[in-house]
Amino acid sequence: MSHPPTTDPTHRLVPSPAGRIHLVEQGAGPLVLLVHGFPESWYSWRHQMPALASAGYRVAAIDVRGYGRSSRPEAVDAYRMRELVADNVAVVEALGEETAVLVGHDWGANIAATSALVRPDVFRAVGLLSVPYAPRGGPRPSEVFTGMGGEEEFYVSYFQEPGRAEAEIEPDVRGWLAGIYAALSADTMPAPDLPDPHFIARGGTMRDRFPAGRPAWLSERDLDVYAGEFERTGLRGALSRYRNMDRDWEELAEFDGAPITQPSLFIGGGRDASTTWMGDAIKAYPSTLPGLVGSHILEDCGHWIQQERPEEINRLLIDWLGRVGDR
């Protein structure tokens, strides 16, 4: 089977409710929109873009609002889910398409899932990396997170107070990023008998529990790219996503318990806390993801799944996209 030649990646700015969304586009064919998580950027898809383009797809990896060259609105509530869904729809329209396949990692998986729920007319299939789909429901999120950790503080609660995490991160963005990437990578994460970096000792910081060393997938140049973006933009926009979880819970009440019916895919890391903590959500997929085409757990893989194991992720994505087709 022959495919069109792969074009070089092209940077574009397109209009959106945020003001502008920066994206990097490559290839020709059915549109696949890639949505990154925290604390990353479009660059986290650098290994997937040429592979998907070579397989016959038009790939667009965005900077989520608050990141990179995309707009960074001032208001915290500008980062709620409904706004991020609207950005994704605007990107599809700006690229001259009516529908797209959506693939997200980490927070991007939640954004992708919500986009599929809210706009099934636009997003015809959804791939979720690292963070399983769990329908809206249960207690208010802040109440759940406050109850986690006992005497320690769960990182999501730590992130929710404006300015607090920024004060830890922004004096040494590069060092903090290197630490969180290492903390959640299979080859550098702390041993199970050491304190968990997802939790913060009272009066402490996340950085206190970050391991030394750099994961194999992260080159010095890669770290330079990520650090350069956040040194320029700061972390407020990125962290504002965490500061809208209760607001999302209120605004998305109509989707309480709702399944995602489009064709779907899940890929998780066997050593990723997002996968292990949410094991019940994965078990519930027959009812919550009735269109599930494939669910995969990559053994001895951490959280940064498409960067830790790019060839496997590329193979699974291309196989799934081929099975989804144009339906």
Question: Looking at the annotation, which residues are catalytic?
Answer: 106, 303
- The SS3 call for residue 41 is coil
C-alpha separations of 242 from 71, 196, 245 in Å: 18, 20, 6
C-alpha 194/C-alpha 85 separation (Å) is 38
C-alpha 232/C-alpha 22 separation (Å) is 15
- Which of 201, 198, 210, 202 is closest to 155 using CA atoms? 198
Beta strands of the chain (E only): which ranges? 10-16, 19-26, 31-35, 58-62, 100-105, 123-129, 153-154, 199-200, 264-269, 292-298
Residues in the chain: 327
C-alpha separations of 75 from 49, 140, 175 in Å: 32, 22, 28
Please tell me what DSSP assigns to residue 185.
Answer: S
- Which of 3, 71, 60 is closest to 26 using CA atoms? 60
- The SS3 call for residue 100 is strand
Please tell me what DSSP assigns to residue 189.
Answer: S
- Token pair, residue 168, equals 């830890």
Residue 242 backbone dihedrals phi, psi, to 5 degrees? -65, -25
C-alpha 258/C-alpha 217 separation (Å) is 36
